[in-house]
Structure 1
Amino acid sequence: MTIETTSTNSPLEQFIDSLADQNLTYYASDLLHLTGCESMDELGTALRRATEVCTCMHIPLRENFKVVFRPQNGELVQDWRLSPMAYMLMVLNSNSQNDLVAHLQVEMVKRVLNPE
């Protein structure tokens, strides 16, 4: 899955991108390492669903998702840097039959229902 971006060289666009980058503190592949997703296909599905939520709610993708390439086992692989909100949307949209994902979903609902 790819998120298309347009490249511009204006100083304003570069400044906006650098501000957005500061909030991108997670990697999508973290869900693979935490066993929240079992495959790249499952990760891609969660990512697609999370971007659909943002699009539906008119939340800018460039402030929450950024395609990056990282070295892994001597190869360059595609990954995504995510904002905390994008990361949580991915967790919510991952396979709910996964124990870690189900646990996180229930914990998030409990915190919303019982804010203390």
Structure 2
Amino acid sequence: MTDSYDSLFEPKESLVTRWKSDPFARGSYSYVAVGATGDDYDILGRPVEYPGDKIPRVYFAGEHTNRNYPATVHGSLLSGLREARRIADTFLGSIYEISAP
């Protein structure tokens, strides 16, 4: 397959992370304590509201905010879509419904 599509598979640049040795990351994904529940993921994903008008101003996405798929790439992607929807709903109004898988 690469013979037909050589130019599609030629990387332009690469980056190697050293998350395991990073003193702040200490690994590649988050985890919660033993005995934690899905509610803990929900708390981590709650937007922060401005006290004066109760409108969310800071939104959180990432695998650490997805109760159904924590510590996964697709959990991170789904949480990004969730927050994009929250932002759109807050500032543009709700135009559609999406149910969680």
* TM-score normalised over the length of structure 2: 0.29
- Higher helix residue share: 1
Higher RCO (C-alpha 8 Å, min separation 6): 1
- Higher strand residue share: 1
Rg bigger for which structure? Answer: 2
